Structure 1
Amino acid sequence: MKLVTLVKPLLAASLLVAGSASAAPDARQVLSASPVDDIVAQYPAMMSQGIREGLKRSGQMPPMVAETIGHVVSSSFSAADIEQQIVENLDQQLSDAQLKDVGEWYGTPVARKISASEIAASAPSAWQDIQARAPELNRKYKGTDRARMFDRFDRASRATESAVDTTIAVQLGLATAMAAFSSDSVHYDEIEQRIESQRSTLRGVVGQQVYDSYLYTYEGISAQEMDLYLDFLESPAGAAFSKVVTDSIQQAITDPIESVGSQLARFLSPAPKGGQ
Structure 2
Amino acid sequence: LILTNSHPSTGYPYPKAPHVKEISGMHIDPASQPLPKDLQDFMDDAPHGVIFFSLGSFLNPAQLLAGGKFEIFLSVFRKLKQKVMWKIAPGLPEVKDPNIRVQTWYPQQGILGHKNLKMFITHGGLQSTIEAISSGVPCLGIPVFFDQLKDVAFMEKIGMAVGLTLDEITEDTLSKTINEILFNPKYRENALKQKAIFEDRPKKPVEEAAYWIEYVLRHGQILRPASATMPFYQVYLLDVAATVIATILVLF
TM-score past 0.5 threshold: no
Higher share of residues assigned strand: 2
Q: What TM-score comes out, normalization by structure 2 length?
A: 0.32
Higher RCO (C-alpha 8 Å, min separation 6):
1
Query: Which structure's CA Rg is the greater one?
Result: 2
Q: What TM-score comes out, normalization by structure 1 length?
A: 0.30
